[in-house]
Amino acid sequence: MKERFHYKKEMGQNFIYDKELIERLAEASRVEKTDGVLEIGPGRGTLTAALARRSRQVIAVELDRTLLDGLEASLALYPNVEIVQGDILKADLPALIQRLGTPCRVAANLPYNITTPLMEKLLLARLPLSTIAVMVQKEVGERMMARSGQDGYGPFSLLIEYFATAEEAVFVPAECFTPQPKVDSSFMLLTLREKPTVTVADEGLLFRVIRTSFAMRRKTILNNLMGGFGLPREKAASLLEQSGIDPGERAEVISLARFAALSEAIRSEKH
């Protein structure tokens, strides 16, 4: 079956067939019998079946229309699985989660080029999710877990830290996939927080401050803040010092708590 399938490189299709590894991934997803599961990128349905055996219901969203018939056939024994054809980045996520009910979890083995936009969409929608288990490039997994001063730390790290705790649940070498990619992968488990780690009055402003601070990584946060918010040097320096930040520092050494303080200082200045 898999030998006859034409893998679509443009869709980033890399599938896993090893049954033992599939079971490890399903176990790492923390899915329980009471859970509804939104699976993104079911591919050939191997992980889907393992999730279905553990859960109350699975809605699997697949972009590739040519996979649908095979998915329907391979998952015919699982009446608790519904297959939906569509682009998850354009999907109505709240509606899908509402259909699944709570408790609800997400499991995904998706093209690596949509990891960041999908995670942003899932987290910023504030969906009632318990966990998100997602296969990513090893390097991206490290970025998810990075803290200030560590390699890979940036806006994506801070977004994850704000909404969730992240851990590498399973390390997956490149040779476990068909076709084999050029990089190793990490199956990451994100546990959603009941409330963010910091409290700010304007969440949108916080993420704007973070993006602005990392806009030119080689520049100091003072220069990025001046350019991004059109602030005079003296005012920008004052806001940074008020937030406990050295104006000469770069963004990669500044913690989420400091960014939150800076966001509040800027908001107060505007008002």
Third-level CATH fold of 2-192: Rossmann fold (3.40.50)
Q: CB within 8 A of 180, min separation 6: which ones?
A: 14, 174
Residue 113: predicted pLDDT: 87
Cis amide prior to 103 (ω within 30 degrees)? yes
Which run of H or E residues covers position 15?
A: strand 15-16
User: Residues 160-213: pLDDT tens digits?
Assistant: 999 999 999 999 999 998 878 889 999 999 999 999 999 999 999 999 999 999
DSSP-derived pairing of the beta strands 81-85 and 164-172: unpaired
Percent of the chain with pLDDT over 90: 87
Residue 15: predicted pLDDT: 78
- Enumerate the domain spans of the chain: 2-192, 203-270
User: Residues 50-91: pLDDT tens digits?
Assistant: 999 999 999 999 999 999 999 999 999 999 999 999 999 999
C-alpha to C-alpha distance for 80 and 130, rounded to whole angstroms: 20
Tokens 């329980």 map to which residue? 32
Question: Which of 236, 229, 228 has its CA nearest to residue 245?
Answer: 236
0.75 surpassed by pTM: yes
Please give the CATH number for the structural domain made up of 203-270: 1.10.8.100
